[in-house]
Structure 1
Amino acid sequence: MKKGFRTVQMVNREDIHMRDPFVFPYPEENQYYLFGTTFADGCGDKDPVFEVYVGKDLETWEGPYIAFDPPQGFWGVRHYWAPEVFKIEGRFYMFATFKGGIGEHRGTGILAADHPGGPYSPHSDGAVTPKDWECLDGTFYEDQEGQRWMIFCHEWTQEYEGKIKAIRLTRDLKQSFGEPVDILNAAEMRWIRLFGDPRIEKQGYLTDAPFLYHAQNGDLLMLWSSYSVPNYGDKGYGGYTVAIARSRSGSIEGPWIHEDQLLMDRNAGHSSLFTGLDGQTFLATHYPDTPHGSERPLFLPIEETADGLKIK
């Protein structure tokens, strides 16, 4: 694994400042690889990178190592957000968000490596999300017919009503093709509240962090995050939250049902699922979401019930 400019050391989970954590279990080494949003916009004379930690028990980690150090001329110049890693036909692919240069949109590109810890290299032909859309948080799903998909967010900064859509990927994961498929319109959710940023004088309904899970009953579930109104969910915090959408057909093309009951409303979110080395399913999320600077990775055991997912 590649060392960077930051000191590699042993560190406890609660001491890692990270948003959007994603855990890749690697049984071949009896280890976990932890990715997330850490050094997203660079600092001083250092360019942005994706970092990775390695550990055996989800609590003690070694790192950070460098998972992706962009080569000169790489299209993504900032907003190195939300990396997710998938093993596909013996190689490891990182789906990650990048912001292009002046006049270019944010989008999700695909990197590749021969080892889960990297180092990763550019793989896709730039962003595989639509070039004229402002997008983020692309994730991977391969359906039962073998079609590969990216599920992604069409940003509220461009679309007042934030959307989540899916687009087909070529078999080699270098490009997308066809028309995007609609999954949800955030403004239709009962529990959602407007999100705003006074710096750009905009408000809208935010969509973050789609992640797909095929349930035992055949339903296709999608976790995603936004901000809820106060006194709605299990804790009623009215902050960052985790919601569930459901396709009872088991197909990306739906139809999709959007559950009124939130999976979690505790100022935590941007979640994914992974199966631990002991067989237990975990939710990976960052907590708390605010105040910024306090975000840490958190791993919660999950159980699948007859009607969905439940935090143990």
Structure 2
Amino acid sequence: MPKESFRKAKRWHREEIHMRDSFVFTSRSEETYYLFGTTFADGQGDIEPQFEVYISSDLEEWEGPYCAFHPQKGFWGVRHYWAPEVFELNGRFYMFATFKGGIGVHRGTGILVADQPEGPYEPLVNEPATPPEWECLDGTYHRDKEGQNWIVFCHEWTTEYEGKIMAQRLSEDLTQRIGKPFEILNAAKMPWIEKFGDPRIEKDGYLTDAPFFYTTKDGELLMLWSSYSKPELRPDGKSGYTVAIARSKSGDMTGPWTHDEELLMNFNAGHPSLFHDFSGALHICTHYPDTPHGNERPLFLPVEEINNTIVIKEKPDYINWR
């Protein structure tokens, strides 16, 4: 049974769930969908931050929230519980998620592990999987065609200015970094990107968010990711959250990497991931809208692979497409 949260579980329609960074894990054996995301990221009052999970059999009606991960005393991540993603490996379930450490400890991606997709999760090791001397977020998992494990993550614009996406080998049990991380994307080089600013910290730069991988039938490795597009590229004339595609035609993490000119999504939605439904059909999972904050909801759209790329099959009327 899922672990009870401090909030009472109830039934929700998808459009009623307030969530950023939505992620769906499909369990075909259980015929169950598990929805994770950024919800209770910084706690409130005497309640600690945590990761929650919602459960569904049809992607529209959900039950929850349940508690997927609640930190124990001494855990290195104290706030900014962001962007959980769940992957099955060797019969266990691994959550890659962002955490911010205490004073003097950078933000990074930690890896949690559980015996069931809904949790409860516990730390694989009590430290970040990303380099501890860097400010990082949005780590994701990829297992390549040689069976090597990778964590791919964003090296934050708040320290780099030119936000980057980096790749780092992991050991077979995911507990250790192997070799040095290397750059696979520099956001400042994208012609469509809008510089991002945060007046609260008096900094600006080129933001990278949410890498996620997909291998095409011909073996090309696609990386979906998010940032903000220039206002002139959108119908409403405003800068907004978007989804772009980078690709390694060799299928290798080492590339070389190229970048599709056309944006996959450019309508104030983003932080992409992909999942298959029970029938095997492919969907993209994002949150929409990105702004104004407080209105974010999980958005699932059917997609398909055509000519080695991802194409959205159905475009809802309530979205201002271009």
The normalised TM-score by structure 1 is 0.98
Task: Establish whether residue 23 from structure 1 lines up as the match of residue 17 from structure 2.
Answer: no
* Equivalent residues of 2:21, 2:37 under 8 A apart: yes
Residue identity matched to 2:7: R
Q: Which runs of 5+ in 2 are unaligned?
A: 314-322
Q: What does 1:195-206 align with in structure 2 at a 5 Å threshold?
A: 195-206=196-207
Residue identity matched to 1:217: D
Tell me the residue number matched to 1:40.
Answer: 41
Quote the offset at 1:125 in angstroms.
Answer: 4.2
Tell me the residue number matched to 1:121.
Answer: 122
Tell me the residue number matched to 2:275.
Answer: 274
Tell me the residue number matched to 1:224.
Answer: 225
Find the residue that maps to 1:158 and give its secondary structure. Answer: helix
The CA distance in 2 between the partners of 1:91 and 1:24, in whole Å, is 13
Tell me the residue number matched to 2:87.
Answer: 86
Task: Establish whether residue 263 from structure 1 lines up as the match of residue 264 from structure 2.
Answer: yes
Find the residue that maps to 2:233 and give its secondary structure. Answer: coil
Residue identity matched to 2:49: P
Closer, same or farther in 2 for the Cα pair 1:277/1:236, shift >3 Å? farther
* Equivalent residues of 1:124, 1:175 under 8 A apart: no
Residue identity matched to 1:19: R
Task: Establish whether residue 301 from structure 1 lines up as the match of residue 302 from structure 2.
Answer: yes
Aligned residues: 312
Residue identity matched to 1:268: A
Residue identity matched to 1:261: E
Q: Which runs of 5+ in 1 are unaligned?
A: none
Quote the offset at 1:134 in angstroms.
Answer: 0.2
Tell me the residue number matched to 2:320.
Answer: none
Tell me the residue number matched to 2:132.
Answer: 131
The CA deviation string for residues 6-25 of structure 1, in whole angstroms up to 9 with x for no partner, is: 01001110000000000000
The CA distance in 2 between the partners of 1:60 and 1:4, in whole Å, is 19
* Equivalent residues of 1:84, 1:94 under 8 A apart: yes
Tell me the residue number matched to 2:182.
Answer: 181
The normalised TM-score by structure 2 is 0.95
RMSD across aligned C-alpha pairs, in angstroms?
A: 1.0
The CA deviation string for residues 225-261 of structure 1, in whole angstroms up to 9 with x for no partner, is: 0000013258765300000000000000000001121
* Equivalent residues of 1:235, 1:265 under 8 A apart: no
The CA deviation string for residues 162-214 of structure 1, in whole angstroms up to 9 with x for no partner, is: 00010000111112121112110000000001100011110000000000000
- Tell me which stretches of 4 or more aligned residues in structure 1 moved more than 3 Å: 233-237
* Equivalent residues of 1:238, 1:265 under 8 A apart: no
The CA distance in 2 between the partners of 1:303 and 1:217, in whole Å, is 14
Find the residue that maps to 1:174 and give its secondary structure. Answer: coil
* Equivalent residues of 1:241, 1:269 under 8 A apart: yes
Structure 1 residues 75-84 or 177-186, which shifts more?
A: 177-186
Task: Establish whether residue 59 from structure 1 lines up as the match of residue 30 from structure 2.
Answer: no
